Amino acid sequence: MNVIEVNKLTKYYGKAKGIDGVSFAVDEGEIFGFIGPNGAGKSTTIRLFLSLIYPTSGEAKIFGKDCIKYGPEIRRDIGYLPSEVFYYEGMKVIDLLNYSASFYDKDCSRRIAELADIMELDLKRKINDLSYGNKKKVGIVQGLLHQPKLIVLDEPTSGLDPLIQRKFFDLIRDENARGATVFFSSHILGEVQKMCNRVAIIKDGGIINIQDIKTLQKDNYKRIVVEGADLDEGRFNLDGVTNLERENGAIRFYYKGDINKLMRLISESEVSDVTIEEPTLEEIFMHYYE
Amino acid sequence: MNIYKHEFKMSIKSVVIWSIAVAMLILVFMAIFSAIAPQAALLNEAMAQMPPELLMAFGMTGMDLATVLGFYGLAFTFIQICIALQAANYGFSLVSVEETDMTADFLLAKPISRPRILTDKLLSAITGLTITNLVVWITSLVLVNVYAGGQPFDTRTLLLLLLSIAVFQLVFLTVGMLISLLVKRVRNVIAFSMALVFGMYVLSAFGSMLGDDKLDVITPFKHFDPNYIISHGAYDLPMVLISVAFILISVVGSYRLYTRRNIQTAM
């Protein structure tokens, strides 16, 4: 079953483009990555899911139901972590979380305590007094306390220190194992790479590519470093080689094509070291943005 | 009802402060009255010396400041300004505060419809305003009776004045709300409400000075002119109905605009 189904979704703010003709689907139980630079349309897409804004054309369905028509019903099972931190003037953390919980027809007090414990969040402090990172934690707990079936994360990790980030990722993995679908928007590719099954790349309001993380890495480029005393870099300039460069006696390049060809080429040369690696998502990503 | 409760808790401090301020205002005016009442005839003479345009501008023509009700009528103009400012503040901030504080993304992502949110918020604001209204009622009734000093006055007229407050509050609350939804963003609530309230007050003053009836139609200060109510012992009914129409249009318009609104982000 598709938890999210987006069909030619378009949003213009007056004349300014938010997104244009975005279509994709997220399967139940997936951790779906949504990457793109700032201003590419990530938040616009998410805000359309929650009917915070209304589409110019096209539609988005969540749990098979139209986002606008069945908004309140759908949102019962969505947990949303906004990218911006927020607070109500003068409110304590626990008050805000209880307020958040009061919108759902279940007792969330135990879950609040658990989540606060995991995220090391002091419930008695005033939200105004919290640091940016701690406010972010309030947002996380607030988004997860009702055990949603769909978790929507908009740049969730900015401001979190690495230790808490790891706990947060573990938490999201646990929720996913429990059966929650996760929609993970980010411009940090490393974290998407670690977390997600599939990833959609968005640029200038349009989806460029949707791929399995593994195929994205496998089918594309290899990063190759060849080291040796008298290497002629021109020899490696064959079809499928890009970004060929020489640095301190090492030749580096990306290669896409028949790996045997390359192996033969390397074996003909006198080399001291060879490295063949999967490129990181960052590097693949750079390719899409060139 | 959870939003209602939450909103009310958030606003209670402001309600208390406004209520105390208005009560103090009434106290000061009535204390002044008790001090000058013995020489009130002189005061009326002094007023007669002033240019009539000035008196008109302040809505003080034909007010007998020697009587407790006449003096209370003068105080009531200032009460109205305070009440209007409070109501307009609540109206302008009602929905806009969620966007400036970025809590809209929190609230609107909850399983609740926008009309429900607006209804709860509106009811909460009305509750707050009603508390202030009650405080005005109690302080006015008590202090007018205390400082009347045995002077007889028409209680019915006083009640008419007090009864007008609720509608007056609703006008500024709902018009403020409507305007906040018509603009893209309310950056400064105080600036908006000052502009609305003093704008309306100045219109009312100009209307009186120029004797222009057309301006009277727009401004609630004229719809509930204390001078008129005291001298006629009744409301200017067609004018009151204009205020009621303002309220209805603003409420209907606000619901329509809010349910279709694209919620702004901080950027």
CB atoms A86 and B262 under 8 Å: no
Closest Cα in chain A, distance from residue B198 (Å)? 28
H or E stretch including B258? helix B237-260
pTM for the model: 0.85
Query: Is B49 touching A (CB cutoff 8 A)?
Result: no
Query: Is A70 touching B (CB cutoff 8 A)?
Result: no
Query: Is A54 touching B (CB cutoff 8 A)?
Result: yes
What pLDDT does residue B153 have? 83
Query: Is A78 touching B (CB cutoff 8 A)?
Result: yes
Q: How confident is the model at residue A1 (pLDDT cuts 50, 70, 90)?
A: confident
Among A113-122, A213-222, B41-50, B76-85, name the one with the lowest average pLDDT.
A213-222
Asked whether the predicted pLDDT for residue A290 surpasses 70, the reply is no
Q: How confident is the model at residue B60 (pLDDT cuts 50, 70, 90)?
A: low
Asked, for residue B267, whether it belongs to a domain, the answer is no
Query: Is A53 touching B (CB cutoff 8 A)?
Result: yes
Of residues A229 and A98, the one with the higher pLDDT is A98
Query: Is A147 touching B (CB cutoff 8 A)?
Result: no
Contacts of A289 (CB under 8 A, 6+ apart): A37, A203
What pLDDT does residue A262 have? 85
Q: Tell the burial category of B13 from Cβ atoms under 10 Å away from its Cβ (0-12, 13-18, 19+).
A: exposed
Asked whether the predicted pLDDT for residue A289 surpasses 70, the reply is no
Beta strands in A156-269 (DSSP E): 181-186, 198-203, 206-212, 222-227, 241-247, 250-255
Query: Is B237 touching A (CB cutoff 8 A)?
Result: no
Q: What is the mean pLDDT of residues A124-138?
A: 90
**Fold (CATH) for A2-212:** Rossmann fold (3.40.50)
pLDDT by residue (tens digit) across A2-52? Answer: 999 999 999 998 888 999 999 999 999 999 999 887 788 999 999 999 999
Closest Cα in chain B, distance from residue A262 (Å)? 49
What pLDDT does residue A21 have? 92
Q: How confident is the model at residue B22 (pLDDT cuts 50, 70, 90)?
A: very high
pLDDT by residue (tens digit) across A194-231? Answer: 888 898 988 888 888 787 877 766 666 788 898 887 77
Closest Cα in chain A, distance from residue B95 (Å)? 13
Beta strands in chain A (DSSP E): 2-13, 16-27, 31-35, 57-62, 65-66, 78-81, 150-154, 181-186, 198-203, 206-212, 222-227, 241-247, 250-255, 273-277
What pLDDT does residue B177 have? 96
CA angle B113, B117, B119 (to 5 degrees): 115
- Separation of alpha carbons B23 and A154, rounded Å: 48
What pLDDT does residue A282 have? 66
What pLDDT does residue A283 have? 72
What pLDDT does residue B98 have? 87
Query: Is B101 touching A (CB cutoff 8 A)?
Result: yes
Total structural domains within chain B: 1
Interface of A with B in 29-48 (CB under 8 A): 43, 47
Query: How many A/B residue pairs have CB atoms within 8 Å?
Result: 67
CB atoms A73 and B111 under 8 Å: yes
Nearest alpha carbon to residue A61 among A43, A41, A78: A78
Closest Cα in chain B, distance from residue A181 (Å)? 17
Asked whether the predicted pLDDT for residue B200 surpasses 80, the reply is yes
Q: What is the mean pLDDT of residues A122-146?
A: 91
Closest Cα in chain B, distance from residue A102 (Å)? 7
Could you say which of B101, B109, B263 has the minimum Cβ distance to residue A87?
B101
Q: What is the mean pLDDT of residues B160-173?
A: 95
Q: What is the mean pLDDT of residues A171-185?
A: 94
Q: What is the mean pLDDT of residues B166-193?
A: 93
Query: Is A101 touching B (CB cutoff 8 A)?
Result: no
CB atoms B109 and A102 under 8 Å: no
- Separation of alpha carbons B267 and B263, rounded Å: 12
What pLDDT does residue B61 have? 67
pLDDT by residue (tens digit) across B242-252? Answer: 999 999 999 99
Query: Is B1 touching A (CB cutoff 8 A)?
Result: no
Contacts of A118 (CB under 8 A, 6+ apart): A167, A171
Q: How confident is the model at residue A233 (pLDDT cuts 50, 70, 90)?
A: confident
Highest mean pLDDT among A111-125, A154-168, A229-243: A111-125
- Separation of alpha carbons A258 and A239, rounded Å: 10
What pLDDT does residue A85 have? 80
Closest Cα in chain A, distance from residue B5 (Å)? 10
Contacts of A108 (CB under 8 A, 6+ apart): A97, A101, A145, A146
CB atoms B111 and A89 under 8 Å: no
Asked, for residue B29, whether it belongs to a domain, the answer is yes
CATH number for the domain formed by residue range(s) A220-289: 3.30.70
What residues of chain B lie within 8 A of the CB of A54, using their CB? 260, 262
Q: Put the strands of the sheet holding A150-154 in their side by side order.
A: A78-81, A150-154, A181-186, A31-35, A198-203, A206-212
pLDDT by residue (tens digit) across A48-77? Answer: 999 999 999 999 999 999 999 999 999 999
Of residues A37 and B93, the one with the higher pLDDT is B93
Closest Cα in chain A, distance from residue B259 (Å)? 10
Of residues B252 and B145, the one with the higher pLDDT is B252
The domain segmentation of chain A, as residue ranges, is 2-212, 220-289
Q: How confident is the model at residue A285 (pLDDT cuts 50, 70, 90)?
A: low
- Separation of alpha carbons A281 and A284, rounded Å: 5
What pLDDT does residue A287 have? 67
Q: How confident is the model at residue B184 (pLDDT cuts 50, 70, 90)?
A: confident
Q: The tokens of A205 are what?
A: 């309001």
**In this structure, are residues B58 and B139 in contact, taking their beta carbons and an 8 Å threshold?**
no
Q: What is the mean pLDDT of residues B83-97?
A: 95
Q: How confident is the model at residue A148 (pLDDT cuts 50, 70, 90)?
A: very high
Nearest chain B alpha carbon to A43: B265
Neighbours of A108 (CB within 10 A): 20
What residues of chain A lie within 8 A of the CB of B263, using their CB? 47, 52-53
**In this structure, are residues A224 and A193 in contact, taking their beta carbons and an 8 Å threshold?**
no
Could you say which of A52, A87, A103 has the minimum Cβ distance to residue B263?
A52
Task: Give A240's Cβ-side CA count (13 Å radius).
Answer: 14
Owning domain of residue B191: 2-260
